[in-house]
Amino acid sequence: MNLIENNTTEFKQVLTENIEREIVAFLNSKDGGDIYIGIDDSGIVIGLKDVDKIQLQLSQRTANNISPSTLGLFDIIVKVEDNKQYIHLNVTSGMEKPYYLNKYGMSPKGCLIRVGSGVQQMNTAMIEDLFSKRTRNSLSKIVSPKRNLTFQQLQIYYQGKGLLLNEKFPQSLELLTDDGKYNYIGYLLSDDNGVSIKVAKYAGTDKVDLIENEEYGYCSLINSINKVLTKMEIENKTLTKITSKARIDKKLVDPIALRETILNAFVHNLYSSEFFPLVEIFSDRFVITSYGGLVSGLSEDDFFECRSMCRNRELMRVFKDVGLVEQLGSGMSRILKVYDRNIFKITPNFLVVTFMFEGSINSTVSDTVSDTVSDTVCDTVCDTVSDTVSDTVSDTVSDTVNYNVNQKQMIVFNLLKSNESITKKEISAQSGIPMATLSRIISKLKAKHLIDREGSDKSGIWIIK
């Protein structure tokens, strides 16, 4: 394993009866920590039997035996070494300290903290100090500005990942306040809200000449994120250089780092301030800004060491469910693998990330084709292109932009399956997928013999094969 037990690492050979003690201690610690189950004290993997059962037990015991809620504060990851399975439980430092064992309450016996490689009880003074600083104005406690919320878009994204939201999902995803009203998390994820995510594009290197000012909002935050990600995939063009030995293709900005930065801006933004993430496109750089600065209790050193603290743990849970985020802290690791920390500017109120474009490369694609593809894709994403876009341009766009086709195909398939009479316009409205893109997806589903159309476009029905 090349790891030793210390203040952030704990080994367990089996799932113990007191595992909740270790989890509470990491939740209350500044850095969080990692618990490895199926590994002995010397770091040798001995493996586990019935890993699925252990995963379920961990989830249930953490949810039922620890307070406040740990939703979105831990990951359970199954790993394999030498054909032996073990579990990595990644626990982030919580925002609502002190966390405690329910059976002992908020007492020294119930409130624990990691010290070195062991666990110690907190004293009464420490418990009272942490409780007085506890984040009380969390999004889960703020009542939604709107009462009658719907979540059709959110349900579509869950269906796209093979998950179903039953009638109790507002409770299970913590979208309700203590008195049963929808909270601000529910408002952000609902089909209709007042959240506006702006993507501004300028002609030069300053903010003088604004040439685009798009708003991707007023819908489920998940839908807005996917629209912004698709827009930035388009703007992050591929430049080509022909050398004597090979053809070199390179994006303006590393696409993985760009994606992770945008997702981090959305999941860690301080929404209670009613300031929302901003994406700006200049001729020489991309700039992503989120409001709120670093999470309280997280230093710059912690931040650059990829320590994770969730400002909006409920959003983190949903992001993970729909496949936008893999595991806690992984996004920063991917960014810093490619870029130096100087791309970040951290102030008390803002976190700004600037991606300067790679050096100029002589493109082998003619200016006419390049401009046509870029303009057509932008128009398509913004829902302003007609269905009569030429096949040649559509094929070029499809080959140039890395759309998440499988997920979009699943979303469209589920909508057709649930309503055989649904129109393309209704599909586009419910899924957020532009009409031109939708037509290509339907063609692909037909080519795979998954669907067919019987009757006219107006009065016909969809056939699920």
Whether domain 198-356 has CATH 3.30.70.2470: the reply is: no
Domain boundaries defined on the chain = 9-133, 139-189, 198-356, 367-464
- Determine the topology of domain 367-464 in CATH: Arc Repressor Mutant, subunit A (1.10.10)
Model confidence at 378, pLDDT cuts 50, 70, 90, reads very low
Question: Which of the two residues, 456 and 205, has the higher pLDDT score?
Answer: 205
Tokens standing for 7? 């203040």
Report pLDDT for 435: 85
For residue range 389-443, list pLDDT tens digits in order. Answer: 334 333 333 333 333 446 778 888 888 887 888 888 888 877 778 888 888 899 8
Tokens standing for 355? 């991606």
Region 36-41: what's the mean pLDDT?
A: 93
CB 216 within 8 A of CB 197: yes
Report pLDDT for 359: 61
Q: Measure Cα distances from 451 to 47, 68, 103, 435, 444 in Å.
A: 44, 47, 54, 18, 9
Least trusted range by pLDDT, from 146-160, 333-347, 357-371: 357-371
Whether domain 9-133 has CATH 3.40.50.150: the reply is: no
Tokens standing for 201? 């594009």
pLDDT at 363 over 50: no
Region 136-159: what's the mean pLDDT?
A: 89
Tokens standing for 370? 């390049």
Tokens standing for 328? 């806690």
Report pLDDT for 26: 95
pLDDT at 380 over 70: no
Region 248-260: what's the mean pLDDT?
A: 92
Model confidence at 213, pLDDT cuts 50, 70, 90, reads very high
For residue range 74-90, list pLDDT tens digits in order. Answer: 889 999 998 999 999 99
DSSP H helical ranges for 274-364? 300-304, 313-321, 330-338
Region 208-225: what's the mean pLDDT?
A: 93
Region 332-338: what's the mean pLDDT?
A: 91
Pairing between β-strand 278-281 and β-strand 198-202 as defined by DSSP bridges: parallel
